[in-house]
Structure 1
Amino acid sequence: MTRSPATPLPPPKARRRLRETAALTQTQLADRVGVTPGTVRAWESGRTTPRGRKREAYAKLLKTLAEEGAVRAPEPEPKLEPESRPQPQPEAKPQPEPEPKVEPEGKPQPQPDSQPQPQPVAAPEPVALTPAQAFDALYAFSAPALVRQTFLLTGRREQARESVERAFQAAWEHWPEVARDRDPVGWVRATAYEYALSPWQRLRPRHRHPEPPPADPGDRTLLNALLRLPPRHRRTLVLYDGVGLDLPETAAETEASTPATANRLLRAREAVAGRLPALADPQVLHRRLAELASNERLRAAEPPTVRRGGERRARLRTRAAIAFTVALVATTALTVRTAPTHYEPPVSPGQAVRGVPQRVAPGALSDEELELRQKLRDQMQDGPERLSPRLE
């Protein structure tokens, strides 16, 4: 059985350009395709690719937007008149009028006078930002939402704020890598979640003192249901139903396979629905998670404060590493200087040996011994002759 070829799609940048040309937001485009805004954001950034029926619907919508843009394309032609300055010519003016073209959907083309003039291509190009300015813009855009999302994982306001600050400090230390990443917010979010769900957080003194729960009883019940989930299930539920990522993106961020992520998501939903039956519908659960996160007054620090804190922490770590290296080198040099150059075996202590007679030193020979020695010297030293058999 052979598969039919997938519907071709334009590049990610072209998808975004078509949507912006049609004056559509990501939420509006997501409603027309039947997906979440996060999925459209992932499609336009190139992190994921639509498949199946969603791909066909998305490709058909982009084709319609491209055809609508092609019908309006003759508008930029009058742009050439100011460049050549032939304003007195009335013949060039009627060029947009032959556009009584009918769009593929049967809509009449609006009058050229009522159409907005196309923006110049060079206008959207922003001025090159410094690394600090780009970091501040990323922090101001994503930090408040990340703090609220991290609060859903931990249930602690101060820990959520600290986790996001530490994640942005790590992003500032690795800024060249983060700046080139296709999804800088996802990079920071994954780091913040890892820090917030670290088992070492339980050993901190402040973990022993619980924070005041939310004022609303419904929010308090939902937060308790979330905190009773295992950390992996809780993170999967927040990413999928809270943030709005699709299943492959959630699996990639949690470093798990897609089937395992789907299993965790189903178990997390069953656990929450078992405690709160009203949240069995995923849409209702998504809305309640958003309400729970938005009801908390969570503030993030200013971007310069986070950058200075990260730089201070990096300097302290560098100085500690230098001090440790110097101490290690000094200890090694002292050891080499004071260590012996050759091995000297230790002298074992003496001990008495019993049961063996003492060795007697030889003394002077007696007369009998002298006579016997002389006799032995005088006799033949070769010994008796050897007997050999003979034939008779």
Structure 2
Amino acid sequence: MTRSPATPLPPPKARRRLRETAALTQTQLADRVGVTPGTVRAWESGRTTPRGRKREAYAKLLKTLAEEGAVRAPEPKPKLEPESRPQPQPEAKPQPEPEPKVEPEGKPQPQPDSQPQPQPVAAPEPVALTPAQAFDALYAFSAPALVRQTFLLTGRREQARESVERAFQAAWEHWPEVARDRDPVGWVRATAYEYALSPWQRLRPRHRRPEPPPADPGDRTLLNALLRLPPRHRRTLVLYDGVGLDLPETAAETEASTPATANRLLRAREAVAERLPALADPQVLHRRLAELASNERLRAAEPPTVRRGGERRARLRTRAAIAFTVALVATTALTVRTAPTHYEPPVSPGQAVRGVPQRVAPGALSDEELELRQKLRDQMQDGPERLSPRLE
């Protein structure tokens, strides 16, 4: 079975130009195609490409807008013949301008050649944004949508807002890398999802207090079905059916192979359809996810507040690292100063000596001891007398 060739589409910049020429907003165009404004924004930026029936409807609409723009475009001015050009008037004696002749409708009035031709004005060069201005523009463009998407992953409003703020603070710390990235919004989104789905979030006291569920019963049921999915399946479903990424981009962002991502997506859809049979159609599921995220009033902080918070956090970490390094150096220096310079063998433990008579407590001497003492006293101090042999 062969596939039919995909419907051709104009380049992303041409898509946006056609929409702006028709004076349509992204929301109006999304309603006519049947998608969300975020999906139209991704199509016009070239980050994603429509597929299937959405691609055919989008191509047909762009073709209609192009035809309408061609009809509204003014006709080119006819080239004037040299003999029909009026002679220039002398500047010393200005004469009143002749009344313009009534020409047939649709033909422009010829301008006298006496007026100077307008010089082509060079287009102003784009002003280079400072890093802070570029960061603020990125935050204002993508932060509200990222907060709503993160809410679908966690089901907690405060945790979704904090995750997006932490992701943007990390982006501000690595701004040279993020600014050169092909998809800076994807970089921030991946960081926010990793922080929101971290297992350490369960150990926080805030996680133990439940938040009020959505007011609508259908939204509450859908959110509960999403939260029952494993984190990887939930993330894949939100990226593919919620954000509108294609399968290779979803696999790259979740750091999985394309077959594994497709398997996770199918299992997640089956689990959701088992609890909500009305959402078995992917188009209906996509619309319900967008409605669930839009119904919650989630607000993000101002860009300068996020930048200052990230800078303050970086300063605290830097000071803590410096303090730890100073303490480690001081401890090492004290150890070197007080450590012994030579080896001192340890003193062996004492051992009991056996065979020594027991020490007698002082008291009165016995007769034998008195006799021995007297004998020792009677002998000469220089020693005993010299013994000489005698005959008996």
The TM-score normalised by the length of structure 2 is 0.67
Task: Tell me the secondary structure at the aligned position of residue 178 of structure 1.
Answer: helix
Q: Aligned partners of 1:240 and 1:102: how far apart in 2?
A: 61
Query: How far has the Cα of 1:124 moved from its partner?
Result: 7.8
Aligned CA RMSD, in angstroms, stands at: 12.8
Residue 10 and residue 164 in structure 1: after superposition, are their counterparts in 2 closer, same or farther (change >3 A)?
A: same
Query: How far has the Cα of 1:126 moved from its partner?
Result: 3.5
Residue 266 and residue 133 in structure 1: after superposition, are their counterparts in 2 closer, same or farther (change >3 A)?
A: same
- Structure 1, 179-188 or 74-83: larger mean CA deviation: 74-83
- Structure 1, 100-109 or 143-152: larger mean CA deviation: 100-109
Query: How far has the Cα of 1:343 moved from its partner?
Result: 2.0
Q: Aligned partners of 1:388 and 1:52: how far apart in 2?
A: 140
Cα deviation digits, residues 43-77 of structure 1 (max 9, x gap): 77666789999999999999999999999999999
Query: How far has the Cα of 1:114 moved from its partner?
Result: 26
Query: How far has the Cα of 1:342 moved from its partner?
Result: 2.1
Indicate if the aligned counterparts of 2:86 and 2:112 stay in contact, CA closer than 8 A: no
Residue 372 and residue 230 in structure 1: after superposition, are their counterparts in 2 closer, same or farther (change >3 A)?
A: same
Moved over 3 A (4+): 1-126, 352-392
Residue 151 and residue 122 in structure 1: after superposition, are their counterparts in 2 closer, same or farther (change >3 A)?
A: farther
Query: How far has the Cα of 1:379 moved from its partner?
Result: 46
**Could you say which residue in structure 1 is the equivalent of 2:258?**
258
Q: Aligned partners of 1:77 and 1:391: how far apart in 2?
A: 174
Cα deviation digits, residues 100-134 of structure 1 (max 9, x gap): 99999999999999999999996585422111111
Cα deviation digits, residues 332-360 of structure 1 (max 9, x gap): 11111111122222121243588999999
Query: How far has the Cα of 1:86 moved from its partner?
Result: 13
- Structure 1, 213-222 or 359-368: larger mean CA deviation: 359-368
Residue 222 and residue 53 in structure 1: after superposition, are their counterparts in 2 closer, same or farther (change >3 A)?
A: closer
Residue correspondence of structure 1 range 213-224 to structure 2 within 5 A: 213-224=213-224
Q: Aligned partners of 1:306 and 1:282: how far apart in 2?
A: 36
Residue 293 and residue 328 in structure 1: after superposition, are their counterparts in 2 closer, same or farther (change >3 A)?
A: same
**Could you say which residue in structure 2 is the equivalent of 1:10?**
10
Cα deviation digits, residues 288-308 of structure 1 (max 9, x gap): 111111111111111111111
Task: Tell me the secondary structure at the aligned position of residue 284 of structure 1.
Answer: helix
Indicate if the aligned counterparts of 2:247 and 2:262 stay in contact, CA closer than 8 A: yes
Indicate if the aligned counterparts of 1:100 and 1:108 stay in contact, CA closer than 8 A: no
**Could you say which residue in structure 2 is the equivalent of 1:21?**
21
Identity %, equivalent residues: 99
Q: Aligned partners of 1:259 and 1:100: how far apart in 2?
A: 73
Query: How far has the Cα of 1:39 moved from its partner?
Result: 7.6
- Structure 1, 172-181 or 106-115: larger mean CA deviation: 106-115
- Structure 1, 287-296 or 361-370: larger mean CA deviation: 361-370
Residue 268 and residue 53 in structure 1: after superposition, are their counterparts in 2 closer, same or farther (change >3 A)?
A: closer
Q: Which runs of 5+ in 1 are unaligned?
A: none
Q: Aligned partners of 1:95 and 1:56: how far apart in 2?
A: 62
Indicate if the aligned counterparts of 1:33 and 1:54 stay in contact, CA closer than 8 A: yes
The TM-score normalised by the length of structure 1 is 0.67
Indicate if the aligned counterparts of 1:75 and 1:118 stay in contact, CA closer than 8 A: no
Residue 374 and residue 217 in structure 1: after superposition, are their counterparts in 2 closer, same or farther (change >3 A)?
A: closer
Residue 337 and residue 263 in structure 1: after superposition, are their counterparts in 2 closer, same or farther (change >3 A)?
A: same
Indicate if the aligned counterparts of 1:21 and 1:69 stay in contact, CA closer than 8 A: yes
Q: Aligned partners of 1:101 and 1:387: how far apart in 2?
A: 176
**Could you say which residue in structure 1 is the equivalent of 2:98?**
98
Q: Which runs of 5+ in 2 are unaligned?
A: none
Cα deviation digits, residues 287-332 of structure 1 (max 9, x gap): 1111111111111111111111111111111110110010011011
Q: Aligned partners of 1:337 and 1:141: how far apart in 2?
A: 59
Indicate if the aligned counterparts of 1:163 and 1:193 stay in contact, CA closer than 8 A: yes
Q: Aligned partners of 2:99 and 2:390: how far apart in 1?
A: 147
